[in-house]
Amino acid sequence: MLEIKKDFNLKNYNTFGITVFADFFVEIQSISDFLALFKNRIFQTKSHFILGGGSNLLLTQNVNALVIHNKIKGINIEKEDDNHVYIKSGAGEIWHDFVLYCVENQYAGIENMSLIPGTVGAAPIQNIGAYGVELKDTFWQLEAISLKDGEIKIFNRDECKFGYRESVFKNEEKGKYFITSVTFRMNKTPNLNISYGAISDTLKKYNIEKPSIKNISDAVIEIRKSKLPDPAKLGNSGSFFKNPEVENEIATKLKAQFPTLPVYNFTETTSKLAAGWLIEQCGWKGKIVGNTGSHKDQALVLVNYGNATGKEIWDLAIKIQKSVFEKFNVLIQPEVNVI
């Protein structure tokens, strides 16, 4: 039977460790749980807030809603052919656990996204990515339930409208669906992406000339641990800002003015700039402001040093955004969802 809790503290349900309260809170462990909730008076009368791992979230105020925590588990092989295996994962599975499952079973395609915090169900919303790989590269379809009428709908890749840290679920369908599962089309034959220098450098350090997908995963885990603080020890949500996309002409001018600026080709007409580098050049790396600050090893990561409020962290983010714009005339946008 569902237990709906009142005035629930969300401190342990967001990786920033911010203390805010939800009017109501419930955990969903199956589709039948959700369908039962759909008939509940609280569900029908309150607004809804879907919560996964809370790793891409900054809570600046109490949540005047019914918070629905997705805990649907299970990983199953749906079908396979000569080249691919189709794996369906419950939306409440921890993303990194799913990556390790694929790596251990030699299913290739997401090893570069090892150790990204959050859940499988939240991954398509953000179109998560790391080290040259994005979720959309292996995504097949997802199943979701409409919060409006309780109908189950299947979204294919095109319908998700994936972009750089974007999807239909962050735009026109925002807050309208409860994702129950995600199916991936994984590769039986690896097509390894070691284009990022940090990965190739790590492999060289261990004299690995013909890497396996586990070698790639292990390298990414080592890199992320060396650069990013553990949210269990220091509250954060990973990269706070997206790498800004600019026209190639602008990127060329900035590179001429600032030769050490990392620039990455994005499309035929645009490039991505390294947001962390831009922030560091403005003097924020390692700077502490009250209970928050920019991390000493990675300027892109904003942290909670113990008792920060969401508003404190957001105020810092705005100051950083403003200083980057003033110095480079480039606007960096938050990657996290700010509530």
- Reported as a single tens digit per residue, the pLDDT across 292-329 is 999 999 999 999 998 999 999 999 999 999 999 999 99
- Smallest Cα–Cα separation from 235: which of 320, 144, 308? 308
pLDDT tens sequence across 50-90: 999 998 899 999 999 999 999 999 999 999 999 999 999 99
Mean per-residue pLDDT, 15-32 = 97
- Per-residue tokens: 286: 């390692």
Q: What is the DSSP letter of 243?
A: P
Mean per-residue pLDDT, 118-136 = 95
Q: What is the DSSP letter of 86?
A: E
The radius of gyration of the chain from alpha carbons, rounded to an integer in Å, stands at 20
In this predicted structure, the answer to whether residue 331 has a pLDDT above a threshold of 90 is yes
Q: What pLDDT, on a 0 to 100 scale, did the predictor assign at position 195?
A: 80
Residue 219: which pLDDT band, with cuts at 50, 70 and 90? very high
Name the class of domain 235-338.
alpha beta
Q: Which of 167, 181, 237, 239 is catalytic?
A: 239
Placement of tokens 């990127």 in the chain: 251
Residue 111: which pLDDT band, with cuts at 50, 70 and 90? very high
Q: CA angle, corner 261, sides to 255 and 268, nearest 5? A: 60
Contacts 24+ apart (CB under 8 A), 77-83: 78/183, 80/188, 82/188, 83/187, 83/188, 83/189
Residue 143 designated active-site:
no
In this predicted structure, the answer to whether residue 1 has a pLDDT above a threshold of 80 is no
Residue 227: which pLDDT band, with cuts at 50, 70 and 90? confident
10 Å CB burial of residue 217 (0-12, 13-18, 19+) is buried
197 vs 88, higher pLDDT? 88
Sequence letter at residue 327: K
Q: Which of 93, 165, 173, 217 is catalytic?
A: 165
Residue 196: which pLDDT band, with cuts at 50, 70 and 90? confident
Sequence letter at residue 227: K
Placement of tokens 């097509």 in the chain: 191
Q: Does domain 75-187 have CATH number 3.30.465.10?
A: yes
Residue 283: which pLDDT band, with cuts at 50, 70 and 90? very high
Sequence letter at residue 94: I
Q: What is the DSSP letter of 242?
A: P
Residue 224 designated active-site:
no
Fold match between domain 5-70 and domain 235-338:
no
Placement of tokens 């009142």 in the chain: 6
> Which sequence spans correspond to the domains of the chain?
5-70, 75-187, 235-338
Q: What pLDDT, on a 0 to 100 scale, did the predictor assign at position 197?
A: 77
- Per-residue tokens: 92: 């409440």
Strands of the 5-9 sheet, one edge to the other: 5-9, 21-28, 63-70, 48-51
In this predicted structure, the answer to whether residue 256 has a pLDDT above a threshold of 90 is yes
- Smallest Cα–Cα separation from 295: which of 243, 237, 229, 242? 229
User: Would you tell me which CATH number, out of the four given (3.40.190.10, 1.10.3720.10, 1.10.1740.10, 3.30.43.10), belongs to the domain 5-70?
Assistant: 3.30.43.10
Residue 80 designated active-site:
no
Placement of tokens 């979701």 in the chain: 144
Distance CA(230)–CA(273), nearest Å, equals 25
In this predicted structure, the answer to whether residue 205 has a pLDDT above a threshold of 80 is yes
Mean pLDDT, the chain, as a whole number?
A: 95
